[in-house]
A and B are shown apart, each in its own frame.
Chain A
Amino acid sequence: QKEVEQNSGPLSVPEGAIASLNCTYSDRGSQSFFWYRQYSGKSPELIMSIYSNGDKEDGRFTAQLNKASQYVSLLIRDSQPSDSATYLCARGVYGNNRLAFGKGNQVVVIP
């Protein structure tokens, strides 16, 4: 079983709309989650980290962690064409310093 699952296919959203991405996991141990943005041909860029249950907001981005249901999500408000990228969910388990990445979700913002 993969460490983190991102199952949604490419996501197309109109400019100004909310893009919603989800990631599920199976291990209940102490861990942190990260959302990275990766433009085509570029390296991953950290946009959010979360390790406590609940919501964390940073500008137009909100990360949500629900430990009971074992999922982490990313909301992008007021989507802009510059948000068009692949978004990677990553998980790190405490005591084991190795971030494992989900397969990523491509987001396309349509002007």
Chain B
Amino acid sequence: DTEVTQTPKHLVMGMTNKKSLKCEQHMGHRAMYWYKQKAKKPPELMFVYSYEKLSINESVPSRFSPECPNSSLLNLHLHALQPEDSALYLCASSQDWRTEGYTFGSGTRLTVV
């Protein structure tokens, strides 16, 4: 299995809703990432998990809450989002990123209404 699987592929949520994005990989990668990408912009790093521990939080608002229950699974919990949070949310994983880079999932297209 050489894939990073993200669910759901599309999500529409209201500003008072609570939802979660899920990311799974079975490549044995020890680092996992969340990126946010707005239309016609590059991906922006949100969080980095290394060996199931949060190692980087790029000053992301607390309405985004990451969780890494085990080495294969990464969640992003969403609460009280704003319409400007609408974007493509990308999960990625890596083992030796210096030579192999990151492997991205297909993303979750989030719309906040």
| Contact residue among B48, B98, B104 (Cβ-Cβ distance under 8 Å from A32) | B98
- Chain A residues with Cβ under 8 A from B8's Cβ? none
Q: Which of B59-91 contact A (CB under 8 A)?
A: 88, 90
Known A44-B43, A44-B90, A102-B42; contact A94-B107, beta-carbon cutoff 8 A? no
Q: Which residue of B lies closest to A96 (CB)?
A: B56
Q: Which residue of A lies closest to B100 (CB)?
A: A49
CA gap between A94 and B96 in the complex, in Å? 11
- Chain A residues with Cβ under 8 A from B88's Cβ? 43
B101→A99 contact, CB < 8 A: yes
A92→B98 contact, CB < 8 A: yes
Interface of A is mostly: strand
Decide yes or no whether B21 CB sits under 8 A from chain A. Answer: no
Decide yes or no whether B45 CB sits under 8 A from chain A. Answer: yes
Decide yes or no whether B103 CB sits under 8 A from chain A. Answer: yes
CA gap between A86 and B107 in the complex, in Å? 17
Decide yes or no whether A90 CB sits under 8 A from chain B. Answer: yes
B97→A43 contact, CB < 8 A: no
The 3 closest A-B pairs by CB, nearest first: A101-B42, A34-B101, A43-B104
